[in-house]
A = this chain, B = another copy of it.
């Protein structure tokens, strides 16, 4: 027996399957992240960590706060992810004039890990382009241009 409830739910489900942006973006994220994690795994780094290493190398000495802004990561997430890498001696924490703030830099061994993982990143990057097209990066960039005010 098909109830009115069923019909409504089924129609809604069809609309969502056909249109939901989050559904698509999340699935794309899983697929792409999986490629990078597979390849980087041999180097003992996750794509999340690799990105954080790149950010700290690029911006350091940098506050966790700023990392969170650039990467759109909640401050507590940054706090924890950084701590894991501090434990591994990849990241060093310094104080700053502002007694609240901390400043992060890569250690030598952090830089070594980062650079050593770069070829794996490159391979993942290549495989990803083969899967989703070479212009994915610029497409996503265009989507997010300036816009995340939140």
Which A residues contact B (CB, under 8 angstroms)?
5-6, 8-10, 12-14, 16-17, 19-36, 47-48, 50-51, 53-55, 57-58, 71-73, 106, 108, 111-112, 114-115, 118, 121, 124-125, 128-129, 131-133, 136-137, 139-141, 143-144, 147-148, 150
Count of this chain's copies in the oligomeric assembly: 2
Asked whether A19 and B54 contact (CB < 8 A) given A5-B115, A9-B114, A26-B47, the answer is no
Docked-complex contact A31 and B72, CB < 8 angstroms: yes
Q: Is the interface of A mostly helix, strand, loop or mixed?
A: helix
- In the complex, what distance in Å separates the CA atom of A69 from the CA atom of B50? 28
Contacts of A6 in B (CB 8 A): 111
